[in-house]
Chain A
Amino acid sequence: MDKELIRVEDLEIRYETDDGIVYALNGVSLHVEEGETLGLVGETGAGKTTLAKGILRLIPSPPGKVVGGKVMYDGKDLLQLSDTEMHKIRGNAISMVFQDPMTSLNPVMTVGDQIAEVISVHNPGLSKEEVRERVIAILAKVGISSDRIDEFPHQFSGGMKQRVIIAIALACNPKLLLADEPTTALDVTIQAQVLDMIQNLKKELGTAMILISHDLGVVAQTCDRVAIIYAGRIVETGNLHDIYHNPQHPYTLGLLESIPSLTKNVKRLNPIKGLMPDPTDLPPGCPFAPRCNHATAKCSEAVPELREIEPGHFSRCIRTFSEGERK
């Protein structure tokens, strides 16, 4: 469990658009250990998807541009690999599940062919029959009966499509699964089913996962560690207990407070006031300072460094919060 699988160091990604440069990722560092699940939490536009696509080098360029950093996997920097070497990693060692199952499958190919494609490209020695057997096996794992193998995506419901996409992602037993909000587009009941299924398959195959979500509930249920991302930077990271019971960054605090509680009698939700700063025009200091209740003059001078609060628990805030101070 303790072997490091992937390490992202100071990853910086920008989108150069006509309206200016979008600073999507501004030096993100994180690591995932073998078999571990890391939850990546942040609001829309924080850079979650850019990070996942950046790891797999799927950022469309132009306008996207990786400005700096490293993605170390298996002793190699993925950002330095040739295209052919990268093709061997994608879908094989590292695969990705996308947000919207409705648009993520090719509408003119049968689901069987779409799964078979990833198996045969990474196992060129297999015969057609062997590939088909594997497709049937993986379909069974995601709970789809084999007689639907020759159907087209439009004959599947949203939840079933997401199962197919997960089957594609797991078909080659990847070491790491990047799940980009895999349940956001689904009904709540289907969400639970799909999450359970991902969890079980992950355990069965020993796959590590980065689960991208804006739902702290989902993350609490599935993850070992959590990283909170804000305006293209990790602002707090630690294990589940650290984040939920001893949150240190005011942004994490705000996120936790904005969850409706079933036990306390609260009349109104408590959202974080304001909006995330414009990523084309980030403030020089802590990007959260304009929305922060605890901000001081020092906060807008420079971006704070990540500080280790307790072993393995880091926060990008100049303050340390004790139990009583959090309100």
Chain B
Amino acid sequence: MWKYILKRLLMMIPVLLGVTFLVFFIMNMTPGDPAAIILGDQATPEAIAQLREELGLNDPLLLRYVRYIVDMLHGDFGESYKNGISVASQVLDKFPNTAILAICGIFVALAIGIPVGIISARKQYSALDNVSMVLSLIGVSMPVFWLGLLLSLLFALKLGWFPSQGMGSGFLPLLRSLVLPAITLGTGSAATVARMTRSSMLEVIRQDYISTARSKGLSEKVITKRHMFRNALIPIVTAVGLQFGHLLGGAMLTETVFSWPGLGRLMIDSLNSKDIPMVLGSVLFMTIMFSFVNLFIDIVYAFIDPRIKSLYKKSGFKKKKAKGVAA
């Protein structure tokens, strides 16, 4: 098991290299000179040229990339072009805000998605099933920012129940300011989770071991919980994990609509000002979060399904090496 985790951690290195490489090159390919953006409209060409020299923008792209990677390996993610504050400190500063929102969002998604999915599967083709599946289809296809705007119009502007902008400080204000963005984030995810739960449950419902469970004289409640749901969990956990990974990276649209001071907004702002180190830093951070969530899910699999656990136990380094030699 530990070997498996170590292997997965090592596999993250090429992923991170690939992501930074891509982002680095794309950012440099886009039009606009960072030096000109930093110095503003009144800058003289001489000043721009001087700044370009200072930032090392005149060096070949590949050299700049290698320089960036070497700095990164020393724990230096560079400074923001815009305000000169270190990228790492800014990202880490915003991350807790995003994490709170992501956790609340995924909580909303689970609280709605899983019960709806289970009930729909148990009562397949009933009116209840049809209604909830249509609703979830709407939920999946609805643009998040639009839902956010609607919620904010109704509950913040018209009814005044919750703030429409920003993040409250102190426990209760924070909670109040979380409600609308969390519902906005959670609704889309809830729809995905509900659909995944339903289809995964339906697959399990027809299995022979469910007949066995029924023939034991267990109640439907126990059968649903103990026999169906646990077996249906893997695809559900996968879906929830992917959603959570996305949310942790900062929900750009939701954070923008509600002016939530999180990673998503940080990234949008840096993209607009072509703040390359900032963009790179936040993308890198998102990738790391996403990879960790994925790894965590794969570890959770082992606790859900004993067959996967025994598979992990077998997949150490030795086997791989033996295979490589044979090939």
With a cutoff of 8 Å between Cβ atoms, the chain B residues found around residue A95 in the complex are 215-216
Smallest CB–CB gap between B121 and chain A, Å? 14
Q: Do the beta carbons of A103 and B214 come within 8 Å of each other?
A: no
Q: Do the beta carbons of B213 and A56 come within 8 Å of each other?
A: no
Q: Given A107-B305, A108-B231, A91–B209 Cβ distance below 8 Å?
A: no
Q: Chain A interface residue count: which class? A: 20 to 34
A-facing mask of B197-220, CB < 8 A → 1, else 0?
000000000011101111111111
Q: Given A87-B217, A121-B217, A108–B212 Cβ distance below 8 Å?
A: no
Smallest CB–CB gap between A285 and chain B, Å? 35
Within A86-119, the residues touching B (CB, 8 Å) are 86-92, 95-96, 98, 100, 103-109, 117-118
A241 at the interface (CB under 8 A from B): no
A141 at the interface (CB under 8 A from B): no
CA distance A90 to B307 in the complex (A): 29
With a cutoff of 8 Å between Cβ atoms, the chain A residues found around residue B50 in the complex are none
Residue from B208, B219, B304 whose CB has the most chain A CB atoms within 10 Å: B208
With a cutoff of 8 Å between Cβ atoms, the chain B residues found around residue A105 in the complex are 209, 212
With a cutoff of 8 Å between Cβ atoms, the chain B residues found around residue A286 in the complex are none
Q: Do the beta carbons of B216 and A103 come within 8 Å of each other?
A: no
With a cutoff of 8 Å between Cβ atoms, the chain B residues found around residue A169 in the complex are 215
CA distance A98 to B214 in the complex (A): 12
CA distance A122 to B217 in the complex (A): 8
Q: Do the beta carbons of B207 and A103 come within 8 Å of each other?
A: yes
CA distance A227 to B3 in the complex (A): 59
Interchain CB contact (< 8 A) of A121 among B211, B218, B307? B218
B310 at the interface (CB under 8 A from A): yes
Residue from A92, A108, A152 whose CB has the most chain B CB atoms within 10 Å: A108
Within B94-121, the residues touching A (CB, 8 Å) are none
B-facing mask of A44-59, CB < 8 A → 1, else 0?
0000000001001010
- Residue of A with least CB distance to B206: A60
With a cutoff of 8 Å between Cβ atoms, the chain A residues found around residue B214 in the complex are 58, 90
B230 at the interface (CB under 8 A from A): yes
With a cutoff of 8 Å between Cβ atoms, the chain B residues found around residue A152 in the complex are 306-307
Q: Do the beta carbons of B211 and A154 come within 8 Å of each other?
A: no
With a cutoff of 8 Å between Cβ atoms, the chain A residues found around residue B213 in the complex are 106
Q: Chain B interface residue count: which class? A: 20 to 34
Interchain CB contact (< 8 A) of A100 among B208, B222, B227, B230? B208
With a cutoff of 8 Å between Cβ atoms, the chain B residues found around residue A118 in the complex are 216-218
CA distance A118 to B222 in the complex (A): 12
CA distance A152 to B219 in the complex (A): 23
With a cutoff of 8 Å between Cβ atoms, the chain A residues found around residue B226 in the complex are 109, 117
Interchain CB contact (< 8 A) of B208 among A87, A104, A122, A168? A104
CA distance A169 to B213 in the complex (A): 11
With a cutoff of 8 Å between Cβ atoms, the chain B residues found around residue A138 in the complex are none
CA distance A104 to B207 in the complex (A): 8
A165 at the interface (CB under 8 A from B): yes
With a cutoff of 8 Å between Cβ atoms, the chain B residues found around residue A92 in the complex are 217
CA distance A53 to B215 in the complex (A): 9
With a cutoff of 8 Å between Cβ atoms, the chain B residues found around residue A98 in the complex are 208, 211-212, 215
With a cutoff of 8 Å between Cβ atoms, the chain B residues found around residue A56 in the complex are 215
CA distance A100 to B209 in the complex (A): 10
Within A39-84, the residues touching B (CB, 8 Å) are 53, 56, 58, 83-84
CA distance A56 to B305 in the complex (A): 30
Q: Do the beta carbons of B208 and A154 come within 8 Å of each other?
A: no
With a cutoff of 8 Å between Cβ atoms, the chain A residues found around residue B231 in the complex are 106-108
Q: Do the beta carbons of A104 and B216 come within 8 Å of each other?
A: no
Residue from B219, B227, B231, B306 whose CB has the most chain A CB atoms within 10 Å: B306
Q: Given A106-B231, A108-B231, A108-B306, A58–B211 Cβ distance below 8 Å?
A: yes
CA distance A56 to B211 in the complex (A): 11
Q: Do the beta carbons of B208 and A103 come within 8 Å of each other?
A: yes
CA distance A98 to B207 in the complex (A): 12
With a cutoff of 8 Å between Cβ atoms, the chain A residues found around residue B207 in the complex are 103
Smallest CB–CB gap between B206 and chain A, Å? 8
Smallest CB–CB gap between B211 and chain A, Å? 6
CA distance A58 to B216 in the complex (A): 11
Q: Do the beta carbons of A90 and B209 come within 8 Å of each other?
A: no
Q: Given A107-B305, A108-B305, A152-B307, A91–B216 Cβ distance below 8 Å?
A: yes
New A-B pairs, 20, CB < 8 Å, besides A109-B230, A117-B218: A53-B211, A86-B217, A87-B218, A95-B215, A98-B211, A98-B212, A103-B209, A104-B208, A104-B211, A106-B213, A106-B227, A107-B209, A107-B231, A108-B230, A108-B231, A118-B217, A121-B216, A121-B218, A155-B310, A168-B216
The 3 closest A-B pairs by CB, nearest first: A90-B217, A91-B217, A91-B216
Task: Pick 26 A–B contacts, CB within 8 A, sort by A.
Answer: A83-B220, A84-B219, A86-B217, A88-B217, A89-B217, A90-B216, A90-B217, A91-B216, A96-B215, A98-B208, A98-B211, A98-B212, A103-B208, A104-B208, A104-B212, A105-B209, A105-B212, A107-B307, A108-B305, A109-B230, A117-B218, A121-B217, A121-B218, A122-B217, A165-B212, A168-B212
